[in-house]
Structure 1
Amino acid sequence: MSIFRNDTLGSWTRGGQATVHNVRMTTQVFKQSALAGLVLWVLLTLWLVYEVLHQTTRILLGKMAEAWFQLYVVGSPSSPVLFTAPGGRQYWVRADELLRSGIARDAAGELLYSLKLVGSCTAIFVLIMLFAAWYYFTVSGRGLGSNQFLRGASFATVRQLRRRLRGMAKGCLSVGGIAIPAAYEPEHILLSGAPGTGKTNILHAMLEGIRKEGKRAIVYDTAGTFVERFYRPGRDIILNPFDTRSARWSPWFDVPLDYHYDQIAESVVPDGGKDPFWAKSARGTLVAVMRTLVHQDRMRVSALLDIITRSGLKILAQFVENTDGAAFVSAEGERTSAGIQAELASVLRGFRYLDDTDEGLSIRDWVTIEEDDSWLFITVKADQLPTLRPLITMWLDIAINAIMSMAPDQQRRLFCVIDELPSLQRLPSLSDFLARARKYGGCGILGFQSYPQLEATYGRQEAAALTGYCSTWIALRANDTPTARHISDNLGQVEQVEANEGMSYGVNDMRDGVNLSRVQVTRPLVMPTEIVNLPNLTGYLRFGRDLPVVRFTDRYRHGRLLEPAYIDRAAPGIRLDAASEEAACQTTHQPRRRNPLFRRSSPMVNPRGLIGTRRKKSLRRTPVSSAPAVNAVPFVSRGGPMGRSDPPTLHSLIIHERTSCHAQNYSQQRFPTGSCATFARAKGSCHRTAQRPYRYGGEDDRHWPIQAV
């Protein structure tokens, strides 16, 4: 606590004492410097004059000094002075006569001339020395008053960092005018920043570089801003069941191998918190149902939803009987089985908006086929996120898992841009992707607003691991202290010697003084408060690898909007007739050309490990009010991007199937809506016709008759 109060008198006293003390110390430095310069000038001038004068002149000047002493000090003008002539003869000369002689006047003139010439030269030299002393005092004082770097992280300017990176090959990404080296891209980038700080602006710049270099990217877009600027109809792909431009997709399109069922189930069903039983049981049940549907050749989303979400517990237990799912769901354990079914129903809400389709996008095929520069946009609105969160998590997890199934190639570049990472469920493959994707050419760009959100989704240890896998950090302003502290810790610490200066003053001048001490300390390179106080579009860039941290300022980019962010789809997912799964009609229309990235549901791996081929179907359309017609027109409505079509009006499908049944009686089995109401199979050949309208998931629970012919 200060001696004086913080009133006017106390402040005036402290300020006056400090000012007077500073003036006194400054004056003292000036006086001592001037005195040292004067002494140096005199001594240097005398020495140079002595060296310049001839020896005879020096001897004569010495005798003249002796005569001057006898004349003016002793007061004896007649005192003899022994003078030696240049020839060596010695003379006794009176002191006054020697001083009045012409030879003495010539020697005095030569001395004066030498003093002027040499004195001017030495004066210039002394002034230069004084300026050098002033510079030395300033530099040494600045060094004593500043911190001395020992080891750890360090700061640099943008220009200095560019100079350090000049010899490295540039990549397609840049931040704040700094090009990220190509070798750093597959080591992943972490981008943090509160809303409005410029995080999306930096991502726009990165995506522009990716598009310019013709690289492929998987982009998770939560606001539609990336679609508006970078989506190219006919080349890029959108996945969003609520968007008209979205490609059709089915979970069976991305299970080319049997163990991929487990990967899909793990990404759809999140971890259950403290009790992992419910999540693991739900995953096992989902895998069993999907495998059984493959065995029954009923690979439709509607059939999956009918069994899991719209059937009773007994039907679900009967469906997974004699499969691995029987260990989780049974009619005896009603309460446990009901909890598992409820868990599955909650995560499969978004599946009801998927179309029943035999052709569509395979995310794994899109990742592995490197024939073009197309991008995959996974979009969602804020109000759609609660419904689509499990579905989007599964899509992204399939994509990043497919990257690591490719052949190693460090020259490959496939960017996975996931902004707002905490808005999704936990991505099971993300940690493995960040740790191993470098040799496959996978480049992760992860963004988040708040680190506690990331911890809430992934847990404290895994969240720290995810951020630790990213070598390049781009840190914008953080509005909360935990995020700022986490960023500050990861930007690094510095060990340095700090200078501490203290001043003492009192009534006696002897008490006035300045105390200077130096202490070795370790401090964060950037304080959390500095991160909280950053302006918009300003942040810190850390590459690591013994490179300094820089503070950069980005510029706002006004991009041209090419496409609308969303084109809302008026109707939910299309549901096909249940009998169409087993239809094998003889059709006359030619098959249309298909994109290799869009696959049918065949071949698929069934639970027995066999490869099954889905039979062809013939879909014929008649008005709802008409009876089953023989001359029905083939239904080939496949318009729109990526083969998507939405029927404008309600119409019915007449599905004709002729199949050869085995000589075995099959028991009737009843399924809820979305599948055939009744399968009546008799001995011999039969012809079944089922008529039902197109309906959208969940709107119709009617059972449709099967007519035996």
Structure 2
Amino acid sequence: MATQWGRKETIIWPPHAPVMSYSAIAAAILCTGLFLWQRLHFSLPPLQQSYITEYIRAEVGAAVHTHGTYRLLYLGGGKAKPRLALPVDFAVGKTTLPDGRFIPFALSELAQAQGYRFPFRGPAQKVADAALYRWLRYAIFDGNGPFGVFIVSFTEGGVCLAVMLWFAIPRDIQRFRQMKYGRVLRGPLMLSPKEFNKVQKGDGIGFKTTESDKMMRIPLRKEAQHLQLMGDTGVGKTQLIMQCLRQIRQRGDSAIVYDPACEYIQRFYDAGREDIVLNPLDTRCPYWGPAQEMESNAEADAIAASLYQPATADKDEFFHQTPAQIFAHLLKLGPTPHQLAEWMASDTELMKRVEGTEMAFYIDRKAGPQRAGVLSSLGLVAKCFRLLPQRDEKRPVWNARTWAKKRKGWIFITSRPPERETLRPLHSLWIDLLVMRLLTAPQPGQKPVWFVIDELASLQKLPQLHTAITENRKSKNPLVLGFQGKAQLEVIYGHLAEVMLSQPATKIFMKTAEPKAAEWISEAIGKVEIERLKETKFDGSRSGKNFTVERQIEPLVMGSEITGLDDRHAYLKLGNNVARFAFDYLDLPTPTPGFLPRQSPDGEMSFDPDTLEPRTPKSAKPEVRTEPVATTDTVESMANDAPLALEKNPIPWPMKDTNEPARAGELNRPAPASPPTVVADTDTAQEDLHGPEYVREL
């Protein structure tokens, strides 16, 4: 059968008969005959070789009680009277007969001592078959029947038959299936896990299936071309991702795991590996600030673009691009996350920092609704920045810029369902930053980093993800993407979703109940051209059969098959090979809690949810600092230039009756009786320094 451009051509249709099995039987019979011939001429003693024909005739005749004519073998040639030859009369060697012929054995010393010189056939005589059979069996063939004499040869022939049928029967079954279902000429092939391993010879990541003891593996070179898992909730995506994570851990590779349900962190977090938890509400979260991710001012635009992305592809880009420009400008000033949040919450501070730039026109007070829209979009990320740990909490400092160079430990980006919406901008920014930092080719000795993103649609649009999917194979950092359906990504990424879905080399499709998504999966798996033999029967006076060949194009897997798949059943497509497999539930221990709440003022509720009574805020422990002497001029200058510095280092109000300023740390001390002083707590002083009353009094 010839193959040209993926199409199989042949002029011979598979025959109806099991040709391969018949051929195996014929070959086994031939082999058995060869074994019998070898046994007869090279293994049997001389008398058994001479009497084998008579022995078989006598056995048959004894069964029907007949008499036969036989010529028995005698010893003669000497003065002794001829007698019937026995097995002890022969030995290894050669003997010359009176007519000059040679026979391949010689008389034994006993026979020669008795005066015999050679064996010869006696005259024909008629004897009872039963009597001759008994004499031959016990005197010549050691009690073995004709079948017992050649039992070794028949056993060897049976082994040959079994081995040949082992290979022939599957081929005949395949031929019968072709007769019944047709022969695939072009398109993908449906394989079992064993057949998939045989074709692919994979040495990379694998999946444990119920159909085979060995893991179904993909080639190692295909890992960098990414993996994609698609299916409804609860069909087994998480189980397959856990299989991948176990193998990544065994290899010692690094991984970045987006864990929106805190499932993977419970099973794979390892503090000894120096793993990182990126969740501002988790006590294990390190200190992080967006300004620390910058290596140049140009990178501020990329960071801002990751934060301000529309929820869908159809949103107005002006109210996302403009806040991104303002945020990038603020980022270049090197603020902390909490400073950024305060700037975005203060109209005065924001205007002060964009004054003199082209961005001032976007939020000019005369801009009206445009100004309100830009400011509201700008402040959407402020709430998640307030949740981040502060620098003075004495936490380890982390940033993607440094981690991408060392690649030490795993990174878990976690959340719980009630907090997912609030943390969505931060999660998207972290993943986008890590993708951007890991796009470069790895340095010698650097470990590959696996991006494992489950529920991709729960993130906002990631500008760097499209680049990572299309170009990340050069950096050898594989992506494992899990999502529920194509429509989810189309809403977020628009037309780019089609390119993103087509790039992963390994695609795993599971059950989806949405008909359009199932049809898309059917199209993604591919169609096949099938050649079928159509049989037509004629009855009546001209009865007979007629065979015609027809070709059809149809999907390898129909959409209805996708919607009807059982849980933990899937199709794996790699190239033109499609493997249908099932897998069991993997129950891994959970030694680590998925979430450890962090106590922070921004995370505390101001009221009791059961009684709706206001709560007394927990007082923060005062920090002992050595602060510089403040004067009226320095207070006014700092109020204008760095209001958040006042929050961290509160400066007391200067004494009115003297020129001696108050010192830091004396705010809460009792004022002397004379002269009178004005003492304000930190929060009141903070508000006064920013309020209009303070401006008027100055």
Residue equivalent to 2:307? 268
Match of 1:280 among 307, 310, 321: 321
1:553 aligns with 2:582: yes
1:652 aligns with 2:622: yes
C-alpha distance in 2 between matches for 1:304 and 1:357: 14
1:286 maps to a residue whose letter is: F
Residue equivalent to 2:571? 540
Identity percentage of aligned residues: 28
Counterpart secondary structure, 1:361: coil
**After the TM superposition, which residues 490-529 of structure 1 pair with which residues of structure 2 at under 5 Å, given as runs?**
490-500=524-534, 509-510=540-541, 516-529=547-560
Query: 1:97-156 deviations in whole A, cap 9, x for unaligned?
Result: xxxxxxxxxxxxxxxxxxxxxxxxxxxxxxxxxxxxxx9999987655431221121112
Query: 1:258-296 deviations in whole A, cap 9, x for unaligned?
Result: 12211111111113734211111010011112223x2xx
Q: Are the equivalent residues in 1 in contact too, given 2:226–2:505 (CA < 8 A)? A: yes
Deviation of 1:534 after TM superposition, in Å, equals: 1.1
C-alpha distance in 2 between matches for 1:164 and 1:353: 52
Match of 1:194 among 232, 251, 271: 232
Residue equivalent to 2:212? none
Deviation of 1:194 after TM superposition, in Å, equals: 1.1
2:529 maps to a residue whose letter is: E
Distance 1:532 1:691, change over 3 A: farther
Residue equivalent to 1:227? 265
Query: 1:371-420 deviations in whole A, cap 9, x for unaligned?
Result: x4x10000011111110111100000001111014546698421000000
C-alpha distance in 1 between matches for 2:504 and 2:171: 45
**After the TM superposition, which residues 321-360 of structure 1 pair with which residues of structure 2 at under 5 Å, given as runs?**
321-357=355-391, 360=397
Distance 1:346 1:503, change over 3 A: farther
Distance 1:429 1:316, change over 3 A: same
Residue equivalent to 1:635? none
- Give the length in aligned residue pairs: 481
C-alpha distance in 2 between matches for 1:419 and 1:405: 24
Q: Are the equivalent residues in 2 in contact too, given 1:472–1:543 (CA < 8 A)? A: yes
Distance 1:315 1:244, change over 3 A: closer
Q: Are the equivalent residues in 2 in contact too, given 1:356–1:574 (CA < 8 A)? A: no
C-alpha distance in 2 between matches for 1:457 and 1:159: 38
C-alpha distance in 2 between matches for 1:672 and 1:136: 82
Counterpart secondary structure, 1:384: helix
TM-score by structure 1 length?
Answer: 0.61
C-alpha distance in 2 between matches for 1:417 and 1:391: 17
Distance 1:277 1:417, change over 3 A: same
C-alpha distance in 1 between matches for 2:553 and 2:667: 76
Counterpart secondary structure, 1:149: strand
C-alpha distance in 2 between matches for 1:409 and 1:527: 46
**After the TM superposition, which residues 595-634 of structure 1 pair with which residues of structure 2 at under 5 Å, given as runs?**
none
**After the TM superposition, which residues 148-547 of structure 1 pair with which residues of structure 2 at under 5 Å, given as runs?**
148-166=183-201, 170-174=203-207, 176=209, 177-234=215-272, 235-271=274-310, 273-292=314-333, 294=334, 299-308=335-344, 310-312=345-347, 314-357=348-391, 360-370=397-407, 372=408, 374-405=409-440, 407=442, 412-459=447-494, 461-500=495-534, 509-510=540-541, 516-544=547-575, 546=576
Q: Are the equivalent residues in 1 in contact too, given 2:427–2:459 (CA < 8 A)? A: yes
Distance 1:397 1:692, change over 3 A: farther
Counterpart secondary structure, 1:162: helix
Distance 1:175 1:419, change over 3 A: farther
C-alpha distance in 1 between matches for 2:521 and 2:269: 33
Residue equivalent to 2:131? none
Q: Are the equivalent residues in 1 in contact too, given 2:436–2:464 (CA < 8 A)? A: yes
Q: Are the equivalent residues in 2 in contact too, given 1:409–1:439 (CA < 8 A)? A: no
Match of 1:569 among 582, 598, 602: 598
Counterpart secondary structure, 2:363: coil
Q: Are the equivalent residues in 2 in contact too, given 1:656–1:688 (CA < 8 A)? A: no
1:552 maps to a residue whose letter is: F
Counterpart secondary structure, 1:196: coil
Tell me how large the CA RMSD over aligned residues is: 3.8
C-alpha distance in 1 between matches for 2:173 and 2:263: 54
Query: 1:617-650 deviations in whole A, cap 9, x for unaligned?
Result: xxxxxxxxxxxxxxxxxxxxxxxxxxxxxx9852
C-alpha distance in 2 between matches for 1:415 and 1:279: 30
Deviation of 1:563 after TM superposition, in Å, equals: 0.6
Query: 1:597-629 deviations in whole A, cap 9, x for unaligned?
Result: xxxxxxxxxxxxxxxxxxxxxxxxxxxxxxxxx
Q: Which runs of 5+ in 2 are unaligned?
A: 1-15, 17-169, 210-214, 605-616, 669-681, 690-698
C-alpha distance in 2 between matches for 1:570 and 1:139: 66
Distance 1:691 1:178, change over 3 A: farther
Distance 1:497 1:691, change over 3 A: farther
Distance 1:554 1:692, change over 3 A: farther
Counterpart secondary structure, 1:534: coil
Counterpart secondary structure, 2:332: helix
Counterpart secondary structure, 2:416: coil
Distance 1:348 1:504, change over 3 A: farther
Higher relative contact order (CA 8 A, sep 6+): 1
Q: Are the equivalent residues in 1 in contact too, given 2:448–2:476 (CA < 8 A)? A: yes
TM-score by structure 2 length?
Answer: 0.62
C-alpha distance in 1 between matches for 2:439 and 2:177: 55
Counterpart secondary structure, 1:658: coil
Counterpart secondary structure, 1:322: coil
Deviation of 1:517 after TM superposition, in Å, equals: 3.7
Counterpart secondary structure, 2:218: strand
1:254 maps to a residue whose letter is: E
C-alpha distance in 2 between matches for 1:449 and 1:554: 19
Residue equivalent to 2:45? none
C-alpha distance in 2 between matches for 1:300 and 1:139: 69
